[in-house]
Structure formats: structure tokens, C-alpha cells
Copies of this chain bind each other. A is one copy, B any other.
Amino acid sequence: MFRRQKAQSRDDLSTARMMAEIFSENRHIQCMLDFEAALARALVTAKIAPAKASSAIKLECEARLYDISRMVEAASGAGNLAIPLVKELTDKVAHKNAEAARFVHWGATSQDVVDSSLVLQLRRALDILGRGLDRLVQALRQLIQRHKSTVVAGRTWLQQAPPVTLGLKAAGWLDAVGRHRERLRSTRERALVLQFGGAVGTLAALGDRGPAVAAALAGELDLALPDIPWHTHRDRIGEVAATLGLLTGSLGKIARDITLMSQTEVAELAEPAAPGRGGSSTMPHKKNPVACAAVLAAAIRVPALVSTMLTAMVQEHERGLGGWQAEWQTLPQICMLTAGALDQLTYVLEGLRIAPRSMTHNLEITRGLIFSEAVAFALGKHVGKSRAHELVERACRRAVAESKHLRETLIEDAEIRAHINRKNLDLLFDPKTYLGSAGAMIDRVLKRNR
């Protein structure tokens, strides 16, 4: 009954797993240490610190040297993770080279470290999401190409409407996904900037050498240099959240369509089958759409998390209280939920099982009613749109009341018969003849999204 879209293995998909690693405490601490190492080099470049200091500091900038759970514990009292980490780093460096220890974290404030680390993590996160989207695009392109002409009932308000093609449905999906790729690119560009301002954003501790150090540091980390620190201006971070929120919304829409078409009574699509997938603890016959459920769950959860990020933007003065802290777990969760949804949906689409026979069968169940618009338009050319609408509506009511095919109640109507003969009428009930510009639309979407 179902034709398989293509063979694929779930194990290739690891956006979600990589995302979890990116936002692990270990990776966070490593990124903070990368910042400190880069700052030491920048201080050398700016002739503030001697070269030896930089290499001494670099030696201690390895996450594996730190007791992460102790750091996390200390963070709760200190206020953030950077404070105990910088202290420990300084101690480690001092233990070997007291002179070098002077330059650890020189000129920076803890939020510089935490935020820049977040940006480094986001860079990786956006990169893998971008690759994940590329893969989803390919899966959708294949689906569209294979099913450009596979006719399926259009549905509006969950009621059958005139036919579309599976290719057209998927082209709508692809069109949206393509825009998300574009948004991700411009968000990436705006978001990947250094955070470096010192205690209150003036870089006062560096005297007049603030700009030089900042430029060198941005260069070391390969991040853009902002015009001014952004400790309490969180629009860039908020934009990342919003962009992923929009993406997850579209993924949810696709999953909703698939689950609706997978209903027992519709049976046009099914998630890939695999041993142990989607079973029930009590019903031997069940194959539940568990991947789509995960996508839909993400689409329920992410919007609220985005609102948290927006609410948290109201941060006080030079560095806030409450708002910044509210971001810490929220943005990683958004990234992880988005990645999970992307993985799951790609898995579904790459292995999507398609039942063209069900699609054909479903086109029949209204006994022609879904072609009422086609008839009305054909008739409209003769009697005007309003009169045609009335005549066809009447025939529809009779078809329903008498359990007849619409074709029959139409032909029984003398006024209609006067304008359309049976042969032309039959043509109007052929779904292939009522697809309008579907093909042209598909071509445009495929052309733009490669």
C-alpha cells in the first residue's frame, strides 16, 4: 500500500545530538576558556601583556582541567559561571607563572566571557542548523520531483476541496523552508559579534587601548566587532530565538499535515516503519507517528520560549538583573528543540511512505462534491458566477440528500444541462484537468531552492 520515499538510516541524523553537545556545560566552559586564551593573545598584540603570559594562560584553557560540577555549584552563589571559572583559571596560571596570572581576564567582565562564549556556541549551532536545513531541502526536492503529478485532495478547514498534487503541497513546505534558510543567514550575520566591554561597557580598565584590544580579540575569535558592547541590548540574541521560532512553526505545520494524512481514515502517508518504532505497549497493530509528535511538541514549546527571550530583553542599565539570567537555559532549549524537530522531520521526509492508491480513493469519497468549484466556474462562463454558484450549490445539496454523485444531480438539472453536456461534464470531474498552475508553481519553487 505504501511506497517508500527512499532508504535512509536514522543514525546519519545528528543535528540534535550535536546541539546537545554544543550546549553542554563542558562545551560552554571550553568556549569561555577559548575567550580567555584569545583575550591573552589580544593583550599581547596590543602590547599590554608579554607573549609569555599568553602561552602560560593558553596552557590552562582546556575544559578537561576543570571540575565542572564544582564550577556549576559555585556559580549559583557567585551569580554566573564565569566568576568561579576565571578565579580557578587565575589560580592555575598563577601556580606556574605569577606574572602571567596578572593578565588573565584583564579588562573583561564576566558577562563578556559568558556572552562571547554563547556567541561561539551559537555559531556552531547555526552552522549545523544550516546544514540540517540543506538536507531537509534535498529531501523535499526529491519528494516534489517524484510526486509532481500525484493528485491528492486539497483540504481547507479540514474539509475536502478541489484537488492539488502532493508535489504542490511539498512545494509549499519547501518554499517556507527556503525562506528560513535565508533568515538564518541574515540572523547569523547580525548575531555573531564579540561581547567585550569590561565592567560597564567602557573598557575603562584598558585605558586608551580598549579599541585595539577589542579589535584583536574579535580577530582572534573570528567574530564581528560591534560598535559598542551589548550587555543589556539583547536584540541580536532575541533575533536568533525568533528566527528559530519561525522555523519551528513551519516544521510543525509540515508535521501536522503529515499526521493528518497518516490518520487511519485517510491513510495517504505514513512515517518510516522500523522495528521498535511507534509501537504500543498494549495494541499490537499500532504504528504511531512518533517522529511527527516530537516535531509538534517542539512547535508547541518553542513559541513560549521565544516570548521568554523577548520579555527578558528589558534589562537594566549597564548590566541587568533577572533578564540576562532568564536567557541562560532558554536559548539553548530553543536551539535543541529546533534541532530535534529538524532531525525528526528530515527522518520522516527521507523515509516517507506514500500511498497513491489511498489518495485516488479519497478523491472519490465526496461523490464529486470537491469538483463543485470547477463546475461552477465552467457554468459561470454561461450564466454568471452568482447564478452558477446557486445552481451548483443546489445540485450539491441534492447529491448529499439523495446520496448521489454530483455528476448525476447536475445532469438532471435542465438549466445546467442547457450549457454543459455530459461529455464536458465528465471532463470537469477529472482531477488532472483541474490543477491550474500547480506545475508552474512547483517549477518556480524548485528553481529557487536548490
Q: Which residue among A74, A101, A157 has the maximum number of chain B CB atoms within 10 Å of its CB? A: A157
Which of A19-27, A63-71, A433-441 touches B? A433-441
Q: Is A245 an interface residue (CB 8 A)?
A: yes
| A169 neighbours in B (Cβ, 8 Å) | 317-318
- A173 to B157 Cα, complex, angstroms: 23
Question: Known: A157-B321, A257-B316. Is A280-B98 also a contact (CB below 8 A)?
Answer: no
| A105 neighbours in B (Cβ, 8 Å) | 281-282, 385
Q: Is A125 an interface residue (CB 8 A)?
A: no
The main secondary structure of chain A at its interface with chain B is helix
Contact A436 B202, beta carbon cutoff 8 Å? yes
Contact B285 A369, beta carbon cutoff 8 Å? yes
Q: How many copies does the complex hold?
A: 4
Which of A130-138, A178-186, A216-224, A416-424 touches B? A178-186
Give the distance to chain B from A129, nearest Cβ to Cβ, in Å. 15
| A227 neighbours in B (Cβ, 8 Å) | 175, 441, 444-445, 448
- Which single member of B106, B205, B253, B313 contacts A253 (CB below 8 Å)? B313
CB contacts under 8 Å to B, within A257-294, are 257, 259-260, 262-266, 274, 276-290, 292-294
Q: Is A311 an interface residue (CB 8 A)?
A: yes
| A203 neighbours in B (Cβ, 8 Å) | 436-437
- A55 to B326 Cα, complex, angstroms: 48
User: A16's closest neighbor in chain B, by CB?
Assistant: B76
Contact A300 B278, beta carbon cutoff 8 Å? no
Contact A282 B109, beta carbon cutoff 8 Å? yes
Contact B242 A245, beta carbon cutoff 8 Å? yes
Question: Known: A303-B307, A306-B306, A365-B264. Is A282-B108 also a contact (CB below 8 A)?
Answer: yes
Closest A-B pairs by Cβ, 6 of them: A296-B322, A249-B313, A154-B200, A204-B436, A303-B310, A210-B437
